[in-house]
Amino acid sequence: MFLLSTTELTEANRSRISTVLDTLRAVPALADRYEGVSAPDTLAALETVPVMNKDDLQVALAHQRPRARSGATWVFQSGGSTGAPQLGYAPTGLYMAEVYEHWRPLGPDDSFVNGWSAGKMWGAHFLVNCYVDHAGCIAMNLGAMSKDEYDPWLEFFATRKVTAYGGTPSVLRLVFGHARDAGVKLPDLRSVLWLGEAWDPQLDEDIAAVAPNARRWGMFGSTETWVVATNTPECAADTWHPLPSQLVNVGEEEFIDFTCLNPDVLNPVLRYRTGDAGQIVTCACGDPRPALKVLGRRDGLIKFRGHLVNVPDLIADVSARPGVARAQLVVHERGEGGNVLEVLLLATADSDHGLAERVREHIVGSAFGPSIVFQRNPHSLEVSVVESLIGNDRTGKIPNLVIR
Ligand SMILES: [Zn+2]
Percent of the chain as helix, strand, coil, to the nearest 5: 30, 30, 40
Cα of 236 to ligand 1 centre, how many Å? 7
Q: What is the pLDDT of residues 339-376, one digit of tens each?
A: 999 999 999 888 888 999 999 999 998 876 778 888 88
User: Which residue type sits at 195?
Assistant: L
Q: What is the pLDDT of residue 119?
A: 84
Cα of 116 to ligand 1 centre, how many Å? 24
Q: Is 387 exposed, middle or buried (0-12, 13-18, 19+ CB in 10 A)?
A: exposed
Q: Cα separation of 119 and 125, whole Å?
A: 8
Q: CA–CA distance from 200 to each of 30, 171, 316 (Å)?
A: 39, 11, 10
Q: Is 136 left (phi over 0), alpha (psi -120 to 50) or beta?
A: left
Helices and strands counted in the chain (H then E):
11, 20
Cα of 376 to ligand 1 centre, how many Å? 48
Q: What is the pLDDT of residue 83?
A: 57
Q: Cα separation of 301 and 219, whole Å?
A: 26
Q: What is the pLDDT of residue 80?
A: 55
Q: Which stretches in the chain have pLDDT values below 70?
A: 79-84, 299, 336, 368
Cα of 232 to ligand 1 centre, how many Å? 6
User: 24 by DSSP, 3-state: which?
Assistant: helix
Cα of 235 to ligand 1 centre, how many Å? 4
Cα of 102 to ligand 1 centre, how many Å? 12
Cα of 156 to ligand 1 centre, how many Å? 33
Q: CA–CA distance from 100 to each of 10, 133, 215, 239 (Å)?
A: 23, 10, 18, 19
| Residue 215: closest CA among 242, 177, 181, 186 | 186
The CA radius of gyration of the chain, in Å to the nearest whole number, is 22
Cα of 369 to ligand 1 centre, how many Å? 36
Q: β-pairing, 226-231 with 239-242?
A: antiparallel
Q: β-pairing, 73-78 with 86-91?
A: antiparallel
Q: What is the pLDDT of residue 12?
A: 95
Q: What is the pLDDT of residue 38?
A: 92
Cα of 218 to ligand 1 centre, how many Å? 11
Q: CA–CA distance from 269 to each of 23, 154, 188, 196, 244 (Å)?
A: 11, 40, 40, 19, 15
Cα of 164 to ligand 1 centre, how many Å? 20
Cα of 45 to ligand 1 centre, how many Å? 28
Cα of 166 to ligand 1 centre, how many Å? 20
Cα of 234 to ligand 1 centre, how many Å? 6
Cα of 287 to ligand 1 centre, how many Å? 6
Residues with Cβ–ion distance below 5 A, ligand 1: 235, 283, 285, 287
Q: What is the pLDDT of residues 52-71, one digit of tens each?
A: 998 899 999 999 889 999 99
Cα of 272 to ligand 1 centre, how many Å? 24
